[in-house]
Amino acid sequence: MKNIKPKSVLRVKIMMLVLLIFASFSISYSQNETITLEECQQWAQDNYPLVKQLALIEQSTDFTLENINKAKLPQISLNGQFTYQSEVTSIPINIPNIEIPTINKQQYKLYIDAYKSLTNYNEISTQKELVSANAAIEQQQIEVELRQLKERINQLYFGVLLIDETKQQLLIYKENLQSTHLKIKAAVQNGIAIEANAQQVEAEIINIDQKLNENALQKQTYLNMLAALTQQTFSENISLALPLQIPFAEDLNRKELQLFALQTNAVALQEQRINNRKIPAVGLFLQAGFGNPALNMFQTEISPYYIGGLRLNWNLSSLYTNKNDRQIIGINQQKINHQQQLFILNAKLQLQQQATELEKYETLIQNDEKLLALRQDIKKTAAIQLENGIITTTDFLQFSNDENTARLNLALHKMQLLMQQYLYATTSGNY
């Protein structure tokens, strides 16, 4: 037993080492995890409180439709009454040796009344369609509000990408300055340059470090907001994938247009219900129970009875409001039409403005590319002049900063162009 124990301990240590290695891999993976815009959109939609109402709307609709279907079954009610009459029917005839019974002034009955409509199938069908239409309207209204959520996710996601791009350009600028700083330090040691020149470059490097710190804080703020909307936890080193460019589409495919169509359908169903009220109601009925008196009014004892047949009911009072009801429906339809026209007008104006922004960024990118090429040539020349003592360090830093600004503007304008493309696609309903 003493010889086995060290081997067991060694085996445990080896297993723990393997687990630590796998854990280190998993930690490095989580730190370098990459997420996409589509994933953020899906997370936000899945965890958005309003989306949970979709299931509730569906459940409520199913219960309501089930209740409407039960209108096809016989409608049964239990009724009872007790009455006292000040006077009852009597026969004012005296017949010798024959006693005519007297009706009780106290009367009571308990009975079940069953009715099966034969003409309510159109109304039941219309009610079911109207319930489904109203449920579709509620669901579509949620879909409309989800577009605003999508825009917020886009803004935060591209905001992080803009911050990352700014950081990347600052790091490039810092690397260039560090290379220049080493050259100047060498020149100082050789007596060609003075220490103040190296200090100027070092001060600019410190300034960039401050901007990088501000950049990191701003990124964390955006990530916290994105995490709150998506209900996810993002580390500081998480990477956001650059979205692909999407095709430009001018067609308006917004959810609001479907909402207007659903509302129009609901108005048409309301008009159909008005037409259903004109149909006379015909059905079978059965009444059975106990009463005193029952059907025979001269029987003074409690006895069972039943009565059945065909019943006709035609509510003519609905004709009084028929014209006004139709005018109300017409007004509601006009309101929907006006809202739709106003929405289309505002959406097209917004798309025109965003299309102008797209053209602006495309023009800016073309100018940025030309300007960056010029700034790079100027900086190369300035670097040679600095080494030969023709220009001062301040002049070189200005040229270097101009090149960095041109590079940063080009990178940011490209990112803003991509962001504007997604904004246009979201506004048009094609994303």
Average pLDDT over residues 168-177: 90
- Find the Cα–Cα–Cα–Cα dihedral 160, 165, 171, 173, rounded to 10°: -140
Q: For residues 329 and 127, give the distance between their C-alpha atoms in angstroms, rounded to a whole number.
A: 16
Question: In whole angstroms, what is the distance from residue 320 CA to residue 300 CA?
Answer: 46
Q: How many residues does the chain have?
A: 431
pLDDT above 50 (res 21): no
Query: Which of 173, 189, 219, 162 lies closest to 361, judged by CA?
Result: 162
Q: How far apart are CA 250 and CA 58, in angstroms?
A: 34
What residue segments make up the domains of the chain, in order of their start?
36-72+119-277+315-428, 75-87+96-118+281-314
Of 47-61, 92-106, 148-162, 370-384, which range is least confident? 92-106
Residue type, 385: Q
Residue 155 has pLDDT above 80, yes or no: yes
Secondary structure (3-state) at 240? strand
Residues forming beta bridges with residue 278, ordered by sequence position: none
Query: Which residue would you say has higher pLDDT here, 396 or 260?
Result: 260
- Identical fold for domains 36-72+119-277+315-428 and 75-87+96-118+281-314, yes or no, is no
Average pLDDT over residues 1-6: 44
Lowest mean pLDDT among 88-92, 168-172, 392-396: 88-92
The Cα 297–Cα 6 span in angstroms is 108
- The whole-number average pLDDT for the span 402-416 is 92
The reply to whether omega before 6 is within 30° of 0 (cis) is no
pLDDT at position 32: 53
The CATH number of domain 75-87+96-118+281-314 is 3.30.70: no
CA distance 404 to 345: 43
Task: Compute the distance between CA of residue 156 and CA of residue 360 in angstroms, rounded to an integer.
Answer: 22
SS3 78: strand
pLDDT-derived band at 152, boundaries 50, 70, 90: very high
Please check the confidence at residue 277 and state whether its pLDDT lies above 60. Answer: yes
The CATH class given to the 36-72+119-277+315-428 domain equals mainly alpha
DSSP state string for 151-189: HHHHHHHHHHHHHHHHHHHHHHHHHHHHHHHHHHHHHHH
* Separation between Cα atoms, residue 100 and residue 92, nearest integer Å: 10
Residues whose CB falls within 8 Å of the CB of residue 150, separated by 6 or more in sequence, listed in order: 41, 44, 426, 431
| For residues 29-37, average pLDDT | 69
CA separation for the pair 163, 415 (Å, rounded): 10
Rg from Cα positions in the chain = 42
User: Does the structure show a pLDDT above 90 at 214?
Assistant: yes
Residue 104 has, within 13 A of its CA and on its CB side, a CA count of 16
Phi-psi region of 70 (alpha: psi -120 to 50; beta: other; left: phi over 0): alpha
Angle 423-424-426 from CA coordinates, rounded to 5° = 65
The answer on pLDDT for 27 being more than 50 is no
Residue 196 pLDDT > 90: no
Strands (E) in 85-216, as ranges, are: 106-117
Residue with tokens 């996810």: 232
The pLDDT tens digits of the residues spanning 124-134 come to 999 999 999 99
CA distance 185 to 178: 10
* 286-318 residue pLDDT tens: 999 999 888 887 777 888 999 999 999 888 887
CA 287 to mean position of chain CA atoms: 53
Nearest 5 degrees, angle CA 304-CA 307-CA 312?
155
| Mean predicted confidence (pLDDT) in 347-367 | 95
Beta strands in 222-302 (DSSP E): 239-240, 281-292
